[in-house]
Amino acid sequence: MLKDDSWKTRLCSYIAESETAQETIFKYCKTTNRWFAFKNSMRGPRYKESLNDYLNYAGDDEKRNVYFLSDGEFKRRIVCIGNEIEHVSLEKETSLSVFVPGVIDVSDCKDAGFYVFDSQGCTGIRYKCIGCEHGVIVLKKDA
């Protein structure tokens, strides 16, 4: 093991360039990093609506922790995070850090609305992504 953190950069670069590595990680961690597109624009999840109910409405009921959803033209984007298994901690009233195992590329999610689901269902609060590094996505309440 290298003494500095350069191995993390090399590992992330390898994973980013290797579809096999990505598929293995996503399968092992039960996460997904792809958009599901729909013909019609979609509503966001309702307050206390369960992730399963929302995904059944949206048209995909596979069990994963992160879902990227959009209308067919990618004009309306929604990212749902289920935190039944993940560690979610509120740092401040206005920001939220979500740790998701595996590699999640949110580079094309800047205009997406993030929703967090807990054991009671959707928190009903829409977030925007303000950063991501080494698997930690930092969200801020959408104004």
Residue 77 included in any domain = yes
pTM given for the model: 0.67
Q: Is residue 48 part of a domain?
A: yes
Contact indicator for 77, 42 with CB cutoff of 8 Å: no
pLDDT category of residue 56 using cuts at 50, 70 and 90: confident
Residues 6+ apart with CB under 8 A from 25: 15, 31, 102, 103
Q: For residue range 80-121, what is the model confidence (pLDDT) as tens digits?
A: 887 655 556 655 556 777 766 555 667 777 788 999 888 888
Q: In what order do the strands lie in the sheet with 121-133?
A: 35-38, 66-71, 77-82, 113-118, 121-133, 136-141, 95-99, 87-90
Asked whether residue 10 is assigned to any structural domain, the reply reads no
Tokens 């590699």 belong to residue:
103
Domain tally, the chain: 1
In a domain, 15, yes or no: no
Q: What is the mean pLDDT of residues 52-64?
A: 74
pLDDT for 130 equals 84
Whether residue 22 is contained in a domain is answered as: no
Report if residue 50 sits inside a domain.
yes
Assigned domain for 14 exists? no
User: Where in the sequence is the domain holding 55, given as residue range(s)?
Assistant: 30-141
pLDDT at 49 over 90: yes
Whether 7 has a pLDDT exceeding 90, the answer reads no
User: What is the pLDDT, as a whole number, of residue 45?
Assistant: 92
21 inside domain: no
